[in-house]
Structure 1
Amino acid sequence: MFRVALSRTAAMGLARSSPALSARVALPRLAPVVRFNSTKPKSELKKQLDAQDDLRRDWDARILSYEELKPKTQQPSPDKYLIDVREPDEVLQGSIPSSVNLPLSGIPNSLHLDAATFKQKFGFEKPRHDQEVVFYCRSGKRSATACDLAKRNGYTNIFNYQGSWLDWTSREGIKPPSS
């Protein structure tokens, strides 16, 4: 004999269609529905929501514009990193001057490496936790993820060039390579 798990609706239909089976069909138990009523005044709830918003605002990386990024590319500094999180095959199409490549797929594991191993693997010094780090990608989505990963790993001076490679190429007049 074998058992078949049925939804409550299917089991009820089966039980109605065949009285002989109805004795053998076990109806699944449903969890009781619980409704919570808030006894807190609306002003208290608003304060809690505002506090949550403040925490989220602190978690988001600061956005860097093209105008803010351009001078950083003209005067690179070893104390400030511009990190391209695109994959190596994407970087072959071009990159922003003075940037280094650290693919997003490798960030979770690489931020835990010791400084010597990091440098050997990626070819540049591992950023310090308080060092300025600007992330960019193709369109700004992966760079936002990179910022989140960096924040979760203790980096505090994080920026996201939200326009990323697409914004850079359009403002610099760089035509993307044709496929």
Structure 2
Amino acid sequence: MARFWLSLLLAVSLLAPSLADGKRKYGIHGHKAPKLNVGTWFNLPKGKKSIDLPELRGKVVYLLFFQSWCPACHSHGLPRMKKLVREYEKKDVVFLVIQTVFEGYAVNTPAKAEATRKQFGLDIPVGHDGGPERSRVMRRYRTGGTPWVVVIDKEGIVRFDDYFLANPAARKLLDRLGKEQHSENI
């Protein structure tokens, strides 16, 4: 029993400095959302070749980063998002899914991103960012893997970024951000 308490004390003492300084290893919560700059998109609105955040200013944006071979993306991330898309289709919320490849480059291809979109019946834009070593979007957003959710407010500020966002919490956040006023001067 003494060994357990000693181990716990050691773990807490090692974690405490990183928690105390407020720095997070992953994510950019509270910062301006970087441009996406995704080169490959599927299911864009007619006449569009790409989509990026500056043109979405004034809307709440819900991003889901995934990989086609990610089990948690298939069991949680994509099904949760699909439900939210249906619930918020008439509201000022934009949903985007981006395959952010950081491993399995031969498997997580643009074609697999589109196949995953069809598999889940997602009628929203789906992008593919498979940089040569690690997705550029992942680096800019400092994501910790997949599935990773980022919610951006109307002003372009990241208000949530982490693994899973359960739908009750997502609804609460999306509803609150939807009610916030958008400043045209920003």
TM-score higher than 0.5: no
Higher Rg of the two aligned structures: 1
Q: TM-score, normalised by structure 2?
A: 0.34
Please identify which structure carries the higher strand content.
2
Task: Tell me which of the two structures has the higher relative contact order, counting C-alpha pairs closer than 8 angstroms and 6 or more residues apart.
Answer: 2
More helix by share: 1
